């Protein structure tokens, strides 16, 4: 999921170039949302259990969580909620980006 989050930043830059210069938890949570879009497509394509990426992502965000990281990326609960939003919405539009 970390890789999907980072790829989410590349998708942000393609669909909305202004995000390249933005900083803050909004941008990071949007990348988490895009990771959720990817995860749901993988689940649909490969028949994976939906709980697996969510459980893995929860553990990752808790391991990464520090006060400074929380300020820039959001809390583990916020990050999981953003990921679920992407999974439920299934598109960049669900994450607040234009469809490309």
Instruction: Note the pLDDT of residue 20.
Output: 82
CB-based contact 52:58 (threshold 8 Å):
no
Instruction: Note the pLDDT of residue 45.
Output: 94
d(CA 87, CA 69): 23
Instruction: Note the pLDDT of residue 19.
Output: 85
Instruction: Note the pLDDT of residue 54.
Output: 93
- Dihedral, CA of residue 76, residue 50, residue 43 and residue 87, to nearest 10: -50
DSSP string, 11-23: HHHHH-GGGGT--
What pTM, to 2 d.p., does this model score? 0.92
Stretches in the chain below the pLDDT threshold 70: 100
Instruction: Note the pLDDT of residue 55.
Output: 94
Kindly state the greatest CA–CA separation across the chain.
Answer: 37
CB-based contact 9:30 (threshold 8 Å):
no
d(CA 6, CA 51): 21
Instruction: Note the pLDDT of residue 100.
Output: 64
């Amino acid at each position: 999921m970390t890789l999907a989050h980072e790829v989410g930043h590349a998708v942000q830059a393609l669909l909305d170039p202004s995000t390249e210069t933005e900083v803050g938890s909004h941008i990071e949570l949007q990348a988490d949302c895009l990771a959720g879009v990817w995860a749901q497509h993988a689940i649909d394509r490969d028949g994976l259990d939906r709980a697996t990426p969510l459980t893995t992502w929860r553990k990752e965000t808790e391991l990464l969580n520090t006060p400074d990281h929380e300020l820039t990326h959001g809390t583990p609960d916020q990050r999981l909620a953003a990921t679920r939003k992407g999974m439920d919405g299934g598109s960049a539009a669900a994450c607040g980006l234009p469809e490309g």
